[in-house]
Amino acid sequence: MLSGVDHDVPDGIGMARLAWTRLPTADGEEAGPSTSAAADYELLSAAAIESLDYEVIENYAYREEQAQRSKFWVPYYVMLKWLFSLLIGVGTGLAAIFINLAVENFSGWKYTATFAIIKHSYFVGFFVYTVFNLALVFSSVYIVTNFAPAAAGSGIPEIKGYLNGVDTPGILLLRTLVGKIFGSIGSVGGGLALGKEGPLVHTGACIASLLGQGGSAKYHLNSRWVRIFESDRDRRDLVTCGCAAGVAAAFRAPVGGVLFALEEVTSWWRSHLMWRVFFTSAVVAVVVRSAMNWCNSGKCGHFGAGGFIIWDISGGQEDYSYQELFPMAIIGVIGGLLGALFNQLTLYITKWRRTYLHKKGKRVQIFEACLISLVTSTISFVLPLLRKCSPCPQLETNSGIECPHPPGTDGNFVNFYCSKDREYNDLATIFFNTQDDAIRNLFSAKTFHEYSAQSLITFLVMFYSLAVVTFGTAVPAGQFVPGIMIGSTYGRLVGMFVVKFYKKLNIEEGTYALLGAASFLGGSMRMTVSLCVIMVEITNNLQLLPLIMLVLLVSKAVGDFFNEGLYEEQARLRGIPLLDSRPKQVMRNMTAKDACKNQKVVCLPRVSRIVDIVSVLRTNKHNGFPVVDRGQNGEPLVIGLILRSHLLVLLQAKVDFQNSPFPCGPGVLNRHNFSDFVKPASSKGKSIDDIHLTEDELGLYLDLAPFLNPSPYIVPEDMSLAKVYNLFRQLGLRHIFVVPRPSRVVGLITRKDLLLEEHSNNVMAELQSTSG
């Protein structure tokens, strides 16, 4: 009953290549939105979301290609996959370095200038700081709204959808990649309450997809020689590698990257893929390390000692006692509650934005982002002015006194609006600083009570509100860093109380800040294993592993009680029809027939008149049509499924039109030149209205048999819908035929029949006995 192959070996080039080349999201600029406004893009993309073809279409061309392949094809193909994994790793690593380099330098210039000016006038300093931030945010929102609407947000819900089998137009285009990189620099450098980690995952996916398709056809930056992985299936693997590379680059956490891809973004996973993803992440780690070593010598401006700070957090308490488990579980509960609240608030605000704000066009979106930038700059500058400074602490680790550093450099204790030199402003240390330094400061285990509870609460409330409001603006935005900052603030607060209660224990507030960060991310994103490993990789402290596990489990459980994870909620809101890993309970009591009740199936005859095909395509929106022929006794016989996209390519190419209303013989098929027929033109996003046919052509015929999928997946009508769901989801299908109970059984296939060695021995023995 089931057909199709779950290969790790190549797909067919012929029609399978055709399937890709018309369908790519990545390159078919035509597939992208025709409008430049992000608002229109949101509406367009929800309507244009379409499934991907992960199934191998084993049509005539595919079988021809398979037969012609030499025995070296498989090793060649596998080797190329590894080469591409390497290239994805290098590309994503370099993109991450570029983004960090730019962000650190912009922030460095901003804080150097502001601090030089506030020695003379705080008002002018505030003005310069605000204008600097505004200019960066404006550049980001301008790029996104005018040039790359798909680059807004983190991109993770869309990539998750892509790997689940649905294609959002424009998410993997070259301009989206460029928009994402430069947009992130503007939005993160401009001090908004968002991060660059989510966008880096999207960046990795774009790089992977563009490499797989050999560049961008629209900008004439492509090469046929690199275009090897053209099927949606192959690209799915490459995009998975790209996602892992993004996380590996963002946190310098290679294993975390692999697990993130496995746990959060992919829907299908194979052991072969695991190896390649692992390799890509390792490559990223090496590339990033080399760049850091080079920049640490001061060759990269402000990027160097202060750059990539988020990755260099080490220390934390060496051990923990059992009494601490209770407050740590409380951190988990707070994380679950605040994370679920964050998801709910962002959901409401995004809905509201879509309905009232973003419809009004890109000017409103630009104005909105700029307004949020102004508010963020004002809050982060003015609130620390209201705090009193404290004397620099005497450090235990070195005998001297830790003196204030300007923000944006390596160190904590920012001297801002203090009357004396050897003082620091605790709120400015976390608020008036680059994100990476702020996190490092919050995680810091150097001193006790470095921050007052009042400052921490002020920061928590203000930053949480800013993160909620900033989420959903038309700029590239990740939620990892805001999540870490929010979580580490209340974690540190809890830590301060624990220190008071358990005076005798060796407790460090920084450790609690780390647990708080893990708990908020767990409560909002609902990841467990990958987050846990990322946290351990960031801190280099294996001792903390059980504690991080504990808070993650608690926060996820609490969050799950209220709502879905952030990415699932956002995917649903964007109209991305994600299929969960499990069917709904009600599906157990439904049958396949129930799911397609009242459906009048639109079929095509094997040899169809062009005018009929055009009329079917015009009057229906369906993407697949059963093809019916006549059996030997004249009874109707379903011979396969033809995709709308294939029909469009056939109609556009016109080379297969025939005068005769009868099937063409096999001789004709053998003479047919498929490589001429396979055109790299994309038909995705194209409609039947784009194809112009003359009256004469409309009267001709087309034999669909060579182009259809002769072995679509078929289920009997009384199969439970839950079973159909599992089949559909696990095999990544696009269509399933529902048929009546068959009248006879040709054979049974069991495990042993699929063990090819035994099977081929039996076949050989049988052949020998018949020939003998």
Residues within the interface to ligand ATP (CB under 6 A): 50-51, 596, 599, 601-602, 621-625, 734
Phi-psi region of 540 (alpha: psi -120 to 50; beta: other; left: phi over 0): left
Bridge partners (DSSP) listed for residue 637: 629
Nearest to ligand ATP of 143, 650 (CB atom):
650
* Residue placing its CB nearer to ligand ATP in the complex, 500 or 622: 622
* Contacts of 501 by beta carbon, 8 Å cutoff, 6+ apart: none
The CA distance from 184 to 83, in Å, is 28
Q: Quick one: 161 or 559, whose CB is closer to ligand ATP?
A: 161
Q: What are phi and psi of 506, to 5 degrees?
A: -90, 80
CB of 651 to ligand ATP, least distance (A): 17
Burial 181-209 (b: 16+ CB within 10 A, else e): bbbbbbbbbbbbbbbbbbbbbbbbbbbbb
Which of residues 272 and 618 has its CB atom nearest to ligand ATP in the complex? 618
Cβ proximity to ligand ATP: between 284 and 592 the closer is 592
Smallest distance from ligand ATP to CB 683, Å: 14
| Minimum distance from residue 623 beta carbon to ligand ATP (Å) | 4
Task: Give the distance from CA 157 to its chain's centroid.
Answer: 6
Contacts of 582 (CB under 8 A, 6+ apart): none
Query: What is d(CA 768, CA 274) in angstroms, rounded to the nearest whole number?
Result: 42
Beta bridge partners, 643, equal 624
- The minimum distance between CB 718 and ligand ATP, in angstroms, equals 18
Minimum CB separation of residue 715 from ligand ATP in Å reads: 13
| CA atoms of 394 and 441, how far apart (whole Å) | 16
Q: How far is the CB of 579 from ligand ATP (least distance, A)?
A: 11
SS3 716: strand
Nearer to ligand ATP (CB atom), residue 193 or residue 647: 647
- Whether the CB-CB separation of 311 and 252 falls below 8 Å is answered with yes
749 by Cβ neighbours in 10 Å (0-12 / 13-18 / 19+) ranks as exposed
Closest to ligand ATP by CB, 361 or 575: 575
The backbone region for 743, taken as left when phi is positive above 0, alpha when psi lies in -120 to 50, beta otherwise, is: alpha
Residues sharing a CB contact under 8 Å with residue 214, sequence separation 6 or more, in sequence order: 222, 223, 224, 225, 226, 227, 228
Q: Closest separation between CB of residue 620 and ligand ATP, Å? A: 7
| CB < 8 Å & 24+ apart, contacts of 225-229 | 228/77, 228/80, 229/80, 229/81, 229/84
- 714: helix, strand or coil: strand
* Residue 51 or 280 with smaller CB distance to ligand ATP: 51
Residue 60 CB, shortest distance to ligand ATP, in Å, is: 21
What does the alpha-carbon distance between residue 231 and residue 654 come to, in Å, rounded to a whole number? 23
Strand partners, 591: 720
Nearer to ligand ATP, 341 or 596 (CB): 596
Provide the minimum distance between the beta carbon of 127 and ligand ATP in the complex, in angstroms, as a whole number. 52
Closer CB to ligand ATP, residue 393 or residue 575?
575
Q: Which residue has the tokens 């112009």?
A: 692
What are the DSSP E strand ranges found in 477-602? none
CA distances from 358 to 38, 140, 148, 361, 764 (A): 8, 17, 15, 6, 67
Q: How far apart are CA 650 and CA 672, in angstroms?
A: 13
Closest Cα partner for 705 from 607, 636, 565, 559? 607
Q: How far is the CB of 713 from ligand ATP (least distance, A)?
A: 14
Q: How far apart are CA 206 and CA 238, in angstroms?
A: 10
**Residue whose CB is less far from ligand ATP, 375 or 603:** 603
Instruction: Kindly write down the DSSP assignment for every residue of 163-230, as one continuous string.
Output: HHTEE-TTTT-HHHHHHHHHHHHHHHHTT-S-BSHHHHHHHHHHHHHHHHTTEETTTTEE-GGGTT--
In whole angstroms, the minimum distance from the beta carbon of 622 to ligand ATP comes to 3
In the complex with ligand ATP, the residue whose CB is nearer, 390 or 623, is 623
**Residue 8 or residue 612: which is nearer to ligand ATP going by CB?**
612
Is 194:484 a contact under the CB 8 Å cutoff? no
In the three-class reduction of DSSP (H, G, I as helix; E, B as strand; rest coil), residue 574 is classed as coil
- What three-state secondary structure class fits 298? helix
Residues 159, 164, 170, 172, CA torsion sign: positive
Q: What is the DSSP string of 648-681?
A: HHHHHH-TT-BS-SSPPPHHHHHH--HHHH----
Taking the complex as a whole, the smallest distance from the CB of residue 621 to ligand ATP amounts, in Å, to 5
Minimum CB distance to ligand ATP smaller for 385 or for 628: 628
- Which CB contacts under 8 angstroms, 24+ apart, belong to 382-386? 382/126, 383/427, 383/431, 383/458, 383/462, 384/416, 384/417, 384/425, 384/427, 384/428, 384/431, 384/432, 385/122, 385/416, 385/417
Closest distance of CB 710 from ligand ATP, Å: 17
Least Å from the CB of residue 641 to ligand ATP: 9
Q: Write down the least CB distance from residue 604 to ligand ATP, Å.
A: 9
Q: Shortest distance, CB of residue 603 to ligand ATP, whole angstroms?
A: 7
Residue 608 Cβ, how far from ligand ATP at the closest point, in Å? Answer: 14
Name which of 45 and 187 has its Cβ closer to ligand ATP. Answer: 45
Minimum distance from residue 602 beta carbon to ligand ATP (Å)? 4
Report the distance separating Cα 189 and Cα 108, nearest Å: 9
| Cβ closest to ligand ATP, residue 506 vs residue 620 | 620
By beta-carbon proximity to ligand ATP, the closer residue of 186 and 624 is 624
* 771 CB-side CA count, 13 A: 6
Q: Which two tokens stand for residue 197?
A: 């980690």
Of 311 and 625, which CB lies nearer to ligand ATP in the complex structure? 625
